[in-house]
Every structure is written in structure tokens, then in C-alpha cells.
Amino acid sequence: MKFIDSKFVKEISEITNNMYHQGWDERNGGNISYMIDEEYVKEYFPREDFIRNIDLGFEADEIVREKYFLVTGTGKYFKNIIADPETNLGLVKIAKDGKKAHLLWGFKDEGRFTSEFPAHLMSHAARLKVNPSNRVIMHTHPTYTICMGACIPVDDIVFTRKLWKSNTEAVVVFPEGIGVLPCMVCGTNEIGEATAKKMEEYRLVSWTNHGIYGAGNTIDEAFGLIETVEKTAEIYMITLGHVINEIPDEVILGLARLWKLRIKPGVIDE
């Protein structure tokens, strides 16, 4: 049984191919990390023969140490993963000291994980403390979400309200809202720390002028969150300046009652 044939490689290969064809991940844009339970890894690597070590560039939180992650590679194109996953993906185990990752599989061209892997690990740590079932961190560059972020204030409440008021599905899919960061230098520990702080409250964090981060229990959940934001942002941008029939506050509150949702306070007046 080979790891390249596992459901984990198949899931990431298929979703990155989908994301590329959505137009969200140009060139080497976007990255994904997927935490995999030890019991599954042991099925493929019972002896844990590491290929090499890769420095993380920071000290990972204890909650993610000795955990396994399937992660996309730096400089790799999403469109190429489905045809050659062993070059474009890597399976790593975070070292006990939190300072390096042990490579078990992948990156066969001597590559390494995405430069934003530290940001992923920070977000994984934040989400695991909120929900131990969250296993996926997904970063991508959806067009309309970036457009929307360029047109409104950098404010969690404002961004969330405009999404909720544009599409009735939005409040149902992300009732806790969406976090927003200002334009920052990507690939740094600073933006990773800021994203992780937002992830303590949200599963979605918009990076102004850049893209979005999403967290979920599964690949489908993380993708579905981002997909819903992007569809709603598209509606917002297409109708910008022309809206007559905005979703009333009472309808949003009605949806929250119907679905028994705990919605983010301060977005809709009750």
C-alpha cells in the first residue's frame, strides 16, 4: 500500500485541481495543510524512516508538535499536483522540539513546504484549541473576495455584515462571521501570528489585497466555507451601487432562529 494512493493525497490533488480551475490559484498561488492522525500514517510508514529534516523557521506550538501534516510545496503550481503529487506535496511530522519538520514522503525534487507553513501551523494550533476536529487550513486567492476587500473598510463587522446582507446562505454557513486583516507582507511569522489570533474566533480570515484563509474539519468543509464567501463576494461586487432589495435584518435573524445559530454579536441589531 503506497501513500501516493491514499485518500489524503487524492483529496488534496482533486481539490487543488478544482481550485486552480476556479481561477483562484494562479501560478504558485495558494497552499493547503491537512493534519492526518498517526494511526493512518502508521499504515503507510510503520517504521517512520525520515527522508530529511526541514527547518520551520519558528518554534511551533506544543499542540501541533509530533503531529503529521500533508502540505503543498513552495513554488509549486496547484495545476500540477494532480499529475505529480509526490513532487508537489510532502508529508511531514513536526519535531518534538517544534523547530523542524521530519519529511516522510514527497518533495522528491528536494523541495520544501510552502513558505506560509508556519502561518498554517499557527492557525492549526489556534483552531485545535477551539475545535479539536479542525484538521485543514486552506489558503487561496479568490477573485471577488479580493475585490471586495479592496472596496470596504478593514473591519470584521463591516465585512461580515455586507456578506450576510448579500446572500441568505452566508449567515447559515459562517454564523460566527469572518475576520479581516489589513494588507501585510505574506510569508512572514507576523502575518501568521495575526491570522492565528483571528482564528481563535473565526474559521475564515480575509487577507486584504491578497486572499483568504479557511479552516475546517475536512477538505470539503474548508473549501465550502471559502466557496460560499467567494460566491457572496461576487454577488456583492456585481450589484455594488445598484442594490434595491437588500436582505432585511429580520430575515437574517429569522434564519439564525430557524437553524439555531449562534451568530456574531454586533453585526445585526436585535
Question: Is the full-model pTM beyond 0.75?
Answer: yes
Binned at pLDDT 50, 70 and 90, residue 156 comes out as very high
Binned at pLDDT 50, 70 and 90, residue 210 comes out as very high
pLDDT at 155: 98
Binned at pLDDT 50, 70 and 90, residue 154 comes out as very high
DSSP 46-72: TT----EEEE-SS---GGGTT-EEEEE
pLDDT at 91: 98
| Within this chain, domains 1-115 and 116-270 share the same CATH topology | yes
pLDDT at 48: 86
Question: By three-state DSSP, how is residue 91 classified?
Answer: strand
Binned at pLDDT 50, 70 and 90, residue 171 comes out as very high
Q: Is residue 137 within 8 Å of residue 196, measured between CB atoms?
A: no
% of the chain exceeding 90 in pLDDT: 97
Active site residues: 116
- The alpha carbon of residue 170 and the mean position of all alpha carbons in its chain are separated, in whole angstroms, by 17
Q: Is pLDDT of 76 > 90?
A: yes
| Domain ranges (residues) in the chain | 1-115, 116-270
140-149 average pLDDT score: 98
pLDDT at 270: 62
Range 1-115 classified under CATH 3.40.225.10: yes
Fold of 116-270: L-fuculose-1-phosphate Aldolase (3.40.225)
Q: Is pLDDT of 1 > 90?
A: no
Question: By three-state DSSP, how is residue 101 classified?
Answer: strand
Mean pLDDT of the chain: 97
